[in-house]
Amino acid sequence: MIGRLTLWEPGGPCKKAPVHPLGLRSDNELYWTTGAGRGEKNDVVVVAGQTREAAGASSAPARSDANHLLDLHPTMSTPYRQDMPPPGGFGQVQYKRNLSLRGPSGIVILGGMLALTIYGFHRVALGRAERQELEREKAWSRIHLVPLLLAEGDRDAFRRTQAALAREKLIMKDVEGWEAGKSVYNNPKHRNGEWIVPL
């Protein structure tokens, strides 16, 4: 309940009714507040068909309650500030279409993708040719190194054979009739002199 509404007719008693929160009233009714100002509850007097001067200000019952957050109608002595536009006026209303740039057309994008694809395949072909050249170089280097590796293997085998022969002479130096390096399978009783080609 924001306040109380007093209905007053000339020659009749005053009737009090609840006031609508929005302060709705008809066009042929006049009302005024009797409160002391903002922060107090106010009683509203409605005069049917007459003005305040005709009804008399003393006819409106006065009542004001403290600690009220909203006045139904401020008094004329209450200061107010007119809502005015900012200095320089309001800004222009943006009514035009503000669309961003669409960028290149579809033909340009297609051409760019085609050029990029061609360049990519060209780089792939160059890389493949380079890898093939490296593989060929590796193969020929191994081919040229085969004789050298075989010669080194022969030298190592000869060195090992001579070392084994010298070690055998040193070990069997006290045995008479021992020939270093001679095969131990030299008894004709168990082995003939024919050579059998292994299959």
Locate 90 and state its tokens: 């309001």
Q: From residue 198, how far is each of 192, 195 by CA, in Å?
A: 16, 9
Residue 67 has pLDDT above 50, yes or no: no
- At 193, the pLDDT band (50, 70, 90 cuts) reads low
Q: What's the whole-model pTM score?
A: 0.34
- At 52, the pLDDT band (50, 70, 90 cuts) reads very low
112-129 pLDDT, tens per residue?
999 999 999 999 999 999
Residue 17 has pLDDT above 50, yes or no: no
125-174 pLDDT, tens per residue?
999 999 999 999 999 999 999 999 999 999 999 999 999 999 999 999 99
Residue 19 has pLDDT above 80, yes or no: no
Q: How far apart are CA 33 and CA 46, in angstroms?
A: 10
Q: What is the DSSP string of 19-70?
A: PPTT----TTEEEEE-SSSTTSEEEEEEEES--HHHH-GGGSPP-EESS-S-
